[in-house]
Amino acid sequence: MSALLRSGWEWFIAQRWLMMVFLIIGFVLAFAIPEYNLLNKYVQLVMMYVGINIILTVSLNLVNGYMGEFSLAHAGFMAVGAYTAALLTQKVLPIAAHPWLFPLAVLMGGLVAAVLGLIVAVPSFKVRGDYLAIITLAFLMIVKSVIENIDYIGGPRGIPGIKKLTTLPWVFFWVVVTVWVVRNFVYSKYGRGVLSIREDEIASDLMSVNTRRVKFMAFMVSSFFAGIAGGLFAHLLQFISPRVFDIIKTTDVLIMVYLGGIASIGGSILGATAYTVLLELLRPSTVAAMLAWLPAMVFDPLNEYVISHLGVWRMVIMPLLLVLVMLYWPRGIMGLREFRWFVPKRDMEAHHCLNKPTGGSHDAADGR
Amino acid sequence: MTLLTAVKVKHYFGGLCAVSDFNLQLHYGDLMGIIGPNGAGKTTIFNLITGVYRASEGSIRLRNTELVGKTPHQITALRVGRTFQNIRLFRDLSVLDNVRIAHYAQADYSPLEALLHIGRYRREEQRIIENSQRLLAIFKLEHLAGETAKNLPYGLQRRLEIARALAIGPELLLLDEPAAGMNPNEIDLLMEFIQWIRTEFKLTILLIEHQMKLVMGICERITVLDFGETLVEGPPEVIQNHPKVLEAYLGEGPVG
Ligand SMILES: Nc1ncnc2c1ncn2[C@@H]1O[C@H](COP(=O)(O)OP(=O)(O)O)[C@@H](O)[C@H]1O
Ligand SMILES: [Mg+2]
């Protein structure tokens, strides 16, 4: 029986064309679900958060996973994208008359974030590891305080009343673009350069890799998509303030990256999905609803002392979770491995791993 | 025709003078050895040639290009390949990717073509894979293309490192103690192998080696380095019996 399942699975993952089928089904569903209310509004909302978090995770993985740096700046790039896009839709573009300008606003948010990504890349030429982490943290704090001090964009109060322009199809579209572009990048000479920098930067340089250019590109692509996610996020939450993009937001993305596994797009998709759903399940109201069957004698004190404080505990539990994952599960769900469908056929065949009975991998063809 | 010239090269690490007066002239097709006691500055010289360190003084010229001041990848792109005394493979990457990465400078496509997988990307990637597989086949590693580099036995890792250096398409190959950790049998094979790649790839080779059997066996000229200074230079027969060399090696056992 298990042999049958196994060979069935083998057959299944060898059918690369199915990816196109799933893609089309995905798009159809992305349009149909909100149109015909196939799922309730709350589930739709969670799906959009999942999508935004996938974009954030896949893009951060480029720097923290593939390149092996520890950047904390991601929420900063997200903020830049969010503010840029929100300002465009609220104050610049005639969005009421032309809602189709929305993707342009999101794109601009990504581009501005990418330019700032270039600036963060510069210190990475000189320093690595802890020092670079501190510099990226400083960048995050600078972004936050700059926003807080510009009255035109609401200062510490933020921008309320942003139009809800983010829809399920748009989120799905940007997820597909992110995965496709990052995957293309990873399976190119630049992506291999990024991997080699993680392994041994000097050897990489000595093997003709232009390490500076590669770092520029990695930071740019990474921050570009963080900016895109920010734009989508702003037009979903409909309210942004500097507080939304603090270190906790970065921590969330870090957990999703390391939970899913470094240097893996598939892992990032799984990590982002699992973590987002988990967070939703741990909301006080959800937990209370799930445990309502308990006798009042148990439920009431539980509710009073634990469940209603989950929001505060989150600040303790999440960083702790990050530490635990990094220490005890450094590979995460699929660190250094990849969904076979994401690996270009050319790479797969060159590694002779088409017939291997394990999940494909971009660098090590055996799936340990 | 001269390929590489080093004139009065000096290098300090803080106050320590690791290379004090190094001179070298290498012609196309030469196979030259550098010997000298531990800490003489041999590896430092490789690092100076390849741009890992910038020489404090002096000049290193490849063909007509000054190398001092260039970055490692610029120098490598001038067709200088090297290996390392302590193997420095990309350990967590596949054997194939180790070789493919060394094609970076030759891969002729733009960032945009890479991000969209369009234009020259496909043709170039195909070419890189074919060339990598050809190299792996020469080194009898082709069946291990998908294996993670760190899982290879030591001897194969050494071989892979040379394959990776050749992927650069080098005219000048620098080998830092290629026979380290090998038994006499393996050294014999390595000697044949170095001779073979030399003709096959039309290489000029500069190698550092402690194994006198190898150095005396295949090098046409030998430079002896002591305390960062060129002591003597000449063919193996001269070096073997040179009083200065015997003196420098005193306490390290006899030469040869
Ligand atoms: N990065 C470095 N920093 C400081 N000192 C170094 C460094 N690299 C080498 N040295 C010193 O320079 C001298 C020459 O080293 P090296 O070139 O490795 O010698 P060899 O390869 O001939 O054994 C040694 O005294 C060594 O300790
Ligand atoms: Mg040495």
Q: What residue's CA is closest to ligand 1, atom 14?
A: B41
Per-residue tokens: A262:
């470094």
Q: What residue's CA is closest to ligand 1, atom 1?
A: B13
More confident residue, B255 or A187: A187
Could you tell me the fold of the domain covering B2-79+170-248? Rossmann fold (3.40.50)
- DSSP bridge partners of A159: A240
pLDDT score for B252: 54
Calculate the CA B136 to chain-centre distance. 18
Whether B126 has its CB under 8 Å from any CB of chain A: the answer is: yes
Confidence of residue A363 (pLDDT cuts 50, 70, 90): very low
Nearest to B158 by CA among B114, B112, B209, B119: B209
Kindly determine whether residue A365 and residue B146, on different chains, have CB atoms separated by under 8 Å: yes
Rounded CA-CA distance A258/A336 in Å is 11
* Per-residue pLDDT reduced to its tens digit, B214-225: 999 999 999 999
Whether the per-residue pLDDT at A267 is higher than 80: the answer is yes
pLDDT score for A249: 94
* Per-residue pLDDT reduced to its tens digit, B128-146: 999 999 999 999 999 999 9
Whether A185 has its CB under 8 Å from any CB of chain B: the answer is: yes
* Per-residue pLDDT reduced to its tens digit, A193-220: 999 999 999 999 999 999 999 999 999 9
Percent of chain B with pLDDT over 70: 97
Counting every residue written for chain A, the total comes to 368
Torsional class of B208: left (φ above 0), alpha (ψ -120 to 50), beta (otherwise) = beta
Cβ A234 vs Cβ A86: under 8 Å: yes
Per-residue tokens: B244:
């200065």
Q: What residue's CA is closest to ligand 1, atom 16?
A: B41
- What ranges make up the beta strands (E) of chain B? 2-13, 16-27, 31-35, 57-62, 65-66, 80-82, 172-176, 204-208, 221-226, 229-234
DSSP B106-133: T----HHHHHHT-THHHHHHHHHHHHHH
Nearest to A365 by CA among B161, B167, B96, B90: B96
Atom of ligand 1 nearest to the CA of B42: 22
Confidence of residue A309 (pLDDT cuts 50, 70, 90): confident
Cβ A78 vs Cβ A242: under 8 Å: no
Q: How many CB pairs under 8 A join A and B?
A: 130
Rounded CA-CA distance B133/B9 in Å is 39
Kindly determine whether residue B72 and residue A350, on different chains, have CB atoms separated by under 8 Å: no
Cβ B103 vs Cβ A193: under 8 Å: no
CA of A20 to the centre of ligand 2 (A): 54
Whether B154 has its CB under 8 Å from any CB of chain A: the answer is: no
Rounded CA-CA distance B28/B2 in Å is 6
Ligand nearest to the CA of B42: 1
Rounded CA-CA distance A2/A5 in Å is 5
Cβ A289 vs Cβ A307: under 8 Å: no
Block residue for tokens 């040379």: B162
The least confident of A224-233, A278-287, B108-117 is A278-287
More confident residue, A363 or A246: A246
Q: Which of B44, B174, B176 to mutate to test the pocket of ligand 1 (most atoms within 8 A of CB)?
A: B44
CA distance A200 to chain B (A): 7
Rounded CA-CA distance B1/B83 in Å is 25
Atom of ligand 1 nearest to the CA of B36: 22
When pLDDT is averaged across residues A301-318 and rounded to a whole number, the result is 84
Residues 6 or more apart whose Cβ sits within 8 Å of residue A125: A211, A212, A215
Residues of chain B with C-beta less than 8 angstroms from the C-beta of A365? 94, 145-147
Confidence of residue A237 (pLDDT cuts 50, 70, 90): very high
Cβ B88 vs Cβ A200: under 8 Å: yes
pLDDT score for B250: 58
Cα dist from A173 to A50, A106, A209, whole Å: 13, 12, 33
When pLDDT is averaged across residues A243-253 and rounded to a whole number, the result is 94
Query: CATH for A35-344, among 1.10.3470, 3.40.50, 1.10.20, 1.10.10?
Result: 1.10.3470
Nearest to B179 by CA among B167, B196, B193: B193
Rounded CA-CA distance B49/B55 in Å is 9
Whether the per-residue pLDDT at A88 is higher than 60: the answer is yes
More confident residue, A159 or A304: A159
Confidence of residue A250 (pLDDT cuts 50, 70, 90): very high
Per-residue tokens: A208:
């003709």
Atom of ligand 1 nearest to the CA of B44: 17
Of chain A, the end-to-end C-alpha distance in Å amounts to 24
Rounded CA-CA distance B109/B91 in Å is 26
Whether A340 has its CB under 8 Å from any CB of chain B: the answer is: no
Cα dist from B137 to B125, B150, B186, whole Å: 18, 19, 19
Which residues are near ligand 2, the ion (C-beta closer than 5 Å)? B 43, 85
pLDDT score for B41: 94
Cβ A61 vs Cβ A265: under 8 Å: yes
CA distance B249 to chain A (A): 31
Q: Which of B10, B11, B13, B86 to mutate to test the pocket of ligand 1 (most atoms within 8 A of CB)?
A: B13
pLDDT score for A358: 39
Torsion of CA A337, A340, A343, A344, to 10 degrees: 160
Block residue for tokens 């974009």: A55
Rounded CA-CA distance A267/A259 in Å is 8
Whether B107 has its CB under 8 Å from any CB of chain A: the answer is: yes
Whether A193 has its CB under 8 Å from any CB of chain B: the answer is: yes
User: Which chain A residue is nearest to residue B78, measuring alpha carbons?
Assistant: A208
Residues of chain A with C-beta less than 8 angstroms from the C-beta of B101? 189, 192-193, 195-196, 204, 207, 209
Of chain B, the end-to-end C-alpha distance in Å amounts to 31
Calculate the CA A266 to chain-centre distance. 11
For residue A358, the tally of other CB atoms under 10 A from its CB is: 12
* Per-residue pLDDT reduced to its tens digit, A27-69: 999 999 999 999 999 999 999 999 999 999 999 999 999 999 9
When pLDDT is averaged across residues A79-95 and rounded to a whole number, the result is 94
Rg (CA), chain A: 21
Give the mean pLDDT of chain B: 93
Domain ranges of chain A: 35-344
Rounded CA-CA distance B11/B45 in Å is 9
Whether A344 has its CB under 8 Å from any CB of chain B: the answer is: yes
Kindly determine whether residue B121 and residue A188, on different chains, have CB atoms separated by under 8 Å: yes
Percent of chain B with pLDDT over 90: 86
Rounded CA-CA distance A217/B112 in Å is 11
Best of A178, A201, A208, A340 to disrupt the B interface (most B CBs within 10 Å) is: A208
Query: What does DSSP assign to residue A146?
Result: H
Confidence of residue B244 (pLDDT cuts 50, 70, 90): confident
Per-residue tokens: B219:
């090098």
Torsion of CA A245, A248, A254, A259, to 10 degrees: -130
Whether A276 has its CB under 8 Å from any CB of chain B: the answer is: no
* Per-residue pLDDT reduced to its tens digit, A48-57: 999 999 999 9
Rounded CA-CA distance B35/B26 in Å is 16
